[in-house]
Each structure stands twice: as C-alpha cells, then as structure tokens.
Amino acid sequence: MLKELNDKKTELKKQSEEYKTKRNELNAEASNLASKRNELNKKTKDLINEAQEYKKLRDENNEKVKEYKVLRDEVNAKANDIFAQIDQIRNVNNLGGPSIKDIRKEIDKLEFTQQTEVLTTSKERELVNKITELQKLYSAKKEQLEGNQELKDLLNKAQEIRDEASEHHKVLSEYAQQAQDYHDKMITTFKEADKIRAESDAAHKDFVKFQESADEQHKLFISAQKEIRDIDKEIRKIKKGDVDGKKEAAKADARKDAEDIFDKFKSGGKLTTENLMALQRSGFLK
C-alpha cells in the first residue's frame, strides 16, 4: 500500500511539473500578445487622433471656401448688374450678337471646369480652344462696345470687378484643394486605423485563448498539488500506524514474558533482579 502511494505521488509530481511548465509557457505567450495588443491599441489611438486633426483642417478650409464663395458671388453679382446696364445700352444702340455678359459667363464657366476637373489631354485641348475662341469674341465685342464712351467706362468697371471676383475664386480654389487634400489624408488615416484595430482585435482574441489555456493548466497543477498533499497525509497515517502496531506488539511480548515469570514465581521459583525489572516494565508491579 505504501509503495503504491509513493509511486502515485512520484507520478503526480512529474505531472505537476509538466502542468507548471506548460502554464508558464502559455502565460509568457499571453503576456507577449497583451503587449502586442496594447502597442497596436496605442497606434490605433494615435492614428485616430491624426485623422481627427486632418478632419479639423479640412473643415477649416471648407469654411474658408464658403467664405470666399460668398465674396466671389457678391462681386459677380455687382458685375452682372453692370453687364445688365451694358446690355441695355447695347440694345438701344442696336449692337447685336451675343451679349458680352453671356460671353463672360461662359468663359468663367469653362475656366472653372478647367481648374477643378480632371480632364483627358484631348478634352483639355478642346476646352482650351473653346476658351480661346470665346476670349477673342469677348475682345471683339468689347472693342465694338468701347466705341461708346459710356459703354467703355462700364466695361472697364465690369472688368475690374470681374478681376476681383477672379482673385476670390482663385483663393477659393486653393482652399478647396487643401480641403480635398486633408480629406484624402483623413480617409487614408482612418482606414489605416481600422486595419491596425483589426490586428489588435486578433491579438486580443489570441491573448484570451492563451490565457484560458494557461488558467486550465494552472487548475490541473493545483489539483495535482492537492492530491499530493492528500497522499502525504495517507502515508503519514500508515507510518504512524506501523509504529503504534510495533509498540503494541512489544507490549504484548513483554506482558507474556511477565506472566511467565510470575507463574514461575507462584510455582516457587526465585526471581532475579532482571525478572523483577521485567515485571515492573510490564505493569505487573505498580
């Protein structure tokens, strides 16, 4: 029985060390994954903050676009009023053909398209040719109208206002381009943050898996340790029982010897000092 318990205890110690080693390995891997996850989470946070900064800059530039659009439109409205006066004078003086206002509006429209849209080489060439033709027509119409001093003064004034509107539009376009650049950077950065967040989520998932496995190994280790302690208790009981048994056997032998000596004494035999000490040890002599 004692041998079986010792053998089982030895096997449990071996298993316990294996559980402990495996638990420590799994905990180390879980710790590495936790560090990786935390690093990725920090990177995600930094990217989101960066993207938010791009968003702020984009919105600021868009506000500037709105501001300069209002200025441009206000100035254009003034120019349109003057062009309306020019058309009225042109009609009174029977100066036919398309109005200089309509020509100017068409030129502005085409130039806006050229500045804001991505065009193929052929489309770009076609647009430039059309703008050039309209500018020639505008110059011819302007020259025709400049024969009238009143019209000439109005045309000069309209041109000054148009130039001012063009400056506002130029600034507007610059802010619009900056807003678009910041918007593109914001989108790219948010996408990168989403990608890093996905990696962080995967690392956390693996961390939980390794942590749970480590906890399972720890439970097995604790269970094995408890079983070893229980076996130690059983071994101590058995060993204590063997000692007590030997003591009882020794007492029984001593009593039997004492009874033999006492019977010899009762039969008239003489007792030696050794016989008396044996009787005293056995309890016959109180």
| C-alpha triplet 49, 39, 43: angle, nearest 5° | 20
Supply the pLDDT for residue 95.
59
Running DSSP on this structure, what letter comes out for residue 146?
Answer: T
pLDDT per 10-residue tile (average), the chain, 286 residues:
84 92 94 95 96 96 94 89 80 65 83 81 88 85 70 82 89 92 96 96 95 94 90 84 58 61 59 66 61
Could you identify the residue written with the tokens 């903050």?
49
> What residue segments make up the domains of the chain, in order of their start?
35-204
List the structure tokens of 278. 């044996």
pLDDT at residue number 103: 84
100 Cβ contact partners less than 8 Å away, ≥ 6 residues apart: 83, 86, 87, 90, 138, 141, 142, 145, 155
- In whole angstroms, give the CA distance from residue 33 to residue 29: 6
Q: What's the longest Cα–Cα distance across the chain?
A: 178
Contacts of 226 (CB under 8 A, 6+ apart): none
Q: Cβ distance 81 to 74 under 8 Å?
A: no
pLDDT of residue 121: 85
What tokens were used for 206?
Answer: 């693996």
Cα–Cα distance between 16 and 229 in angstroms, integer?
A: 12
Q: Is 221 helix (H, G, I), strand (E, B) or coil?
A: helix
Distance of alpha carbon 49 from the chain centroid: 12
Output the CA angle 229-230-234, nearest 5 degrees: 115
CA dihedral 280, 283, 284, 286 (to 10 degrees): 80
**Residue 196 near residue 44, CB atoms below 8 Å:** yes
Under DSSP, the state recorded for 55 is H
| Dihedral sign from CA coordinates of 249, 255, 261, 264 | negative
Tokens of 42: 């920090």
Cα separation values, 42 from 194, 201, 276, Å: 13, 13, 92
